[in-house]
Structure 1
């Protein structure tokens, strides 16, 4: 049994697989913040590397791909999902990753980080809240969003003005830890749905 002080295993899901995507810049920033905390043990699942098929037929290739991704999702106590906004929603690759899994998301908290144009990806975040609620996951209230994200970072991937995003990320990650610890203890004490 884990103690309250045991760090949370948090999987950062990078949700875009488009060529030339901006997600890795934001992911690197997030990972730096997450690694600086004693209460988090981050790991990454990148949709671009998952290469899940769009068909839900189980084949040897599908099984091999799932065996690389599924354990990272299953062992997580919590998630940070990083999404861009495509056509007022989140990307198909992220939807595919979510849909290939079910119990891996159940009863776990999810923090949402978004980026995009003028909306900062917030429409994608609201759609993801509905999807994760259906999977019996809990999304934390506060998010981090980057409006016109390309202009927020310099050519080396550093934030031009880190104060507001870092404060927002701290609040979001604090909430994730609170929910993560509470739900981890609940899962250990009593299986969900029992």
Structure 2
């Protein structure tokens, strides 16, 4: 079993390699539409679906944990892109766009994130044996912050469908928090 410090070093190196180079500072020319925000949500969901596949395949060996690092990184980067886009929006959503965004969240990450957390919790004995539970705990904390900040950035511009929006935001938050609580015990 690899020492925990090696795993952290590997994760940091992977994150550094996977992080895009900073873009030059220039005014953003494109208009950030509701469809872009919806695509950001779908990109997060794609990362979560990949994570679910790799968690299912995880067998307690370090090699089978390697894809998880990439998945967590992809989810984090997609989330930060969504957060950036939501904060750079300069136009109001139309009357119908909030409902479309909320429905996209409900249909994608509103299902996949709670499922991924439960599937990850089921593998805790294997993560414990490999010494990876602290890594999983740390990534869940990062993903909770990602979720909360992206949700807040999008919610501030919603003028309709606020009840369903808050319900799905809470569902995802509570699911991730349950994973944090589970891996903290």
| Same fold, judged at TM 0.5 (above) | no
Q: Which has the larger Rg?
A: 2
> Higher strand proportion, which one?
1
TM normalised by structure 1 equals: 0.30
Whose RCO is larger (CA < 8 A, sep 6+)? Answer: 2
